[in-house]
Structure formats: C-alpha cells, structure tokens
C-alpha cells in the first residue's frame, strides 16, 4: 500500500497569502496519478486537481498542482476567505486500493 504523508499538519495564513502544501508518497506514483481535494466541515470533499497538475472543472486558477514521483505540491496563489479548509491528497496509481493522505488544515492566522 502506498502511504501518503502530508505536511504541514496545519498552515496558519492570512487572506491574500500564498499556501504551499506537500504530499509525499512512500513509493513512486506511476503516471502521476495523484489528486487533491478540499473539504470543509460537514461537507463532501471537492475535487481540485487530478493527474498531479490538471485542474478539475470549475476550479479557480489560483489552485495549482505540481510534482512527480514521490513529491507533490498543491499551491494556492492568493488565499480567498473561502479557501480556509482541509486539503487532502489521494493516489490512484496502486491497484487495488487508492489511498488518501491525512490532510493539511489551512486556517486563518
């Protein structure tokens, strides 16, 4: 099983600042099959990024994904008030079980 480790656990930032979130895999993720989700309390996860760097439909361009192999990054270029949430990564390269990271909480400083 591929284990995903996200860091930091919590990121305290102000609106307008840049957020950089890390997702590290225990082994290389083939085809860059890595997705990022945003989750707010009591809500379903929302797909942001797939294929490590492709934005999902309707996702603002302030969200970007990068990386390959074992190291991946989600960047939010300028935090908007609605961006304060938990972000988690997911790999879907390893059969038969996709796995998720533990999440990074982006909170208002």
Partner 1 sequence: QVQLLESGGGVAQPGRSLRLSCAASGFSFSSHGMHWVRQAPGKGLEWVAVISSHGRTMVYADSAKGRFTISRDNSQNTVLLQMNSLRDGDSAVYFCAREAHWGQWYFDVWGRGAPVTVSS
Q: φ, ψ for residue 79 (rounded to 5)?
A: -65, 130
Given the complex with partner 1, which of 14 and 58 has the nearer CB atom? 58
Given the complex with partner 1, which of 67 and 101 has the nearer CB atom? 101
Residue ranges in 44-83 that form contacts with partner 1 under rule CB under 8 A: 44-47, 50, 56-57
Q: Least distance in Å: CB of 17 to partner 1?
A: 25
Residue ranges in 28-47 that form contacts with partner 1 under rule CB under 8 A: 33, 35, 37, 43-47
- β-bridge pairing 10-13 and 46-50: unpaired
CB 9 within 8 A of CB 86: no
Q: Using alpha carbons only, how large is the chain's radius of gyration in Å?
A: 13
State the number of binding residues for partner 1 (CB under 8 A): 22
> Which of 9, 41, 81, 96 contacts partner 1 by CB under 8 A?
96
> Which of 19, 74, 88, 106 contacts partner 1 by CB under 8 A?
88
CB 108 within 8 A of CB 49: no
CB 37 within 8 A of CB 49: no
């Amino acid at each position: 099983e591929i284990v995903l480790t996200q860091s930091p656990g919590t990121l305290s930032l102000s609106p307008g600042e840049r957020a950089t979130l890390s997702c590290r895999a225990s082994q290389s993720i083939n085809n860059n099959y890595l997705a990022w989700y945003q989750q707010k309390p009591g809500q379903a996860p929302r797909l942001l990024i797939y294929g490590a760097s492709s934005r999902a439909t309707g996702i603002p361009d302030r969200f970007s994904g990068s990386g390959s192999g074992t190291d991946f990054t989600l960047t939010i270029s300028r935090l908007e008030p609605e961006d304060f949430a938990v972000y988690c990564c997911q790999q879907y390269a390893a059969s038969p079980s996709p796995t998720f990271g533990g999440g990074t909480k982006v909170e208002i400083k």
